[in-house]
Amino acid sequence: AQSVTQLDSQVPVFEEAPVELRCNYSSSVSVYLFWYVQYPNQGLQLLLKYLSGSTLVKGINGFEAEFNKSQTSFHLRKPSVHISDTAEYFCAVSDNTGFQKLVFGTGTRLLVSP
Amino acid sequence: EPEVTQTPSHQVTQMGQEVILRCVPISNHLYFYWYRQILGQKVEFLVSFYNNEISEKSEIFDDQFSVERPDGSNFTLKIRSTKLEDSAMYFCASSIWREGDEQYFGPGTRLTVT
């Protein structure tokens, strides 16, 4: 079984500052990794995913994440945040067998202030 | 851009009543999912559905829950006898393929059981 840990429940940051949202996972098999964003009163939107290949993955809205197999991490980064990035961010994993259910972390609320 | 839709956006029901939550997945998608998010908690997998049958379900998905694809477009989640602890946001998702594919999420139905 897989599990995902997002240690930071909330990350406050000023506009135009860099940010890193941490994600660690646990799995006995190979996994696929995802970051989803949830804006208030909306569904989940995929930011980026790692399936294989290059460990640095670029996504939408200027976000990127790096897969580190030895540290079982998949941290999300953005070099300069905007007010509009204020949202809940979820890290998720699925294994490469079965029917690809997503296992989510508890989420990190990114609060961007001016 | 195609999107997953869900109705209703908010459903209030009394304990013990049956509810049906409806979803219209993206038309060419083949894999369908239900997830739920209890307020303040992580998003949890309930069930996946492919080729008109359940492919995987979680321990949350007990005999009170059922899913159906009654026609070529709708995908429903039924809760036979709601309990207070069923109060949550329920998300429908769909994907084209299985392995590593993005799951597209609907905006959710907020279910409140009183």
Instruction: Tell me the average pLDDT of chain A.
Output: 92
**Predicted local distance difference test score (pLDDT) of residue B71:** 86
- Whether residues B58 and A98 touch (CB distance < 8 A) is answered with no
What is the DSSP track for A61-83? GG-EEEEETTTTEEEEEESS--G
Query: For residue B100, what pLDDT is reported?
Result: 66
On whether any CB of chain A is under 8 Å from the CB of B109, the answer is no
For residue B9, what is the nearest residue in chain A, using CA coordinates? A41
The structure tokens listed for A8 are 């930071």
pLDDT tier, B99 (very low <50, low <70, confident <90, very high otherwise): low
Cβ–Cβ contact B24 with A under 8 A? no
As a whole number, mean pLDDT of residues B48-68 equals 93
Q: Is A99 a residue whose pLDDT tops 70?
A: no
pLDDT for res B112: 98
Name the phi and psi angles at A5, rounded to 5.
-120, 125
pLDDT band at A101 (very low <50, low <70, confident <90, very high): confident
What is residue B57's predicted lDDT score, i.e. its pLDDT?
93
pLDDT for the residue B33 = 95
* Alpha-carbon gap: B64 to the closest alpha carbon of chain A (Å): 21
Q: Beta-carbon neighbour count of residue A39 at 10 Å?
A: 13
Q: Mind listing the pLDDT tens digit for each residue in A25-66?
A: 998 888 899 999 999 878 899 999 998 888 999 999 999 999
Q: Do A96 and B99 touch (CB under 8 A)?
A: yes
Average pLDDT over every residue of B33-44: 92
Which chain A residues have a beta carbon less than 8 Å from that of B43?
44, 90, 92, 102, 104, 107
Strands B65-68 and B75-79: antiparallel
Q: Which of A35, A41, A48, A99 has the highest number of chain B CBs within 10 A, making it the mutation to test binding with B?
A: A99
Q: How confident is the model at residue B106 (pLDDT cuts 50, 70, 90)?
A: very high
Of B89, B65, B67, the residue nearest B79 (C-alpha)? B65
Q: Spell out which residues of chain A touch residue B34, defining contact as CB-CB under 8 Å.
A: none
B1: chain A residues, CB-CB within 8 Å: none
Interchain CB distance below 8 Å, A105 and B42: yes
Query: A38 to chain B, minimum CA–CA distance in Å?
Result: 10
- pLDDT for A98: 58
pLDDT number for residue B25: 95
Q: In whole angstroms, give the CA distance from residue A41 to residue B110.
A: 10
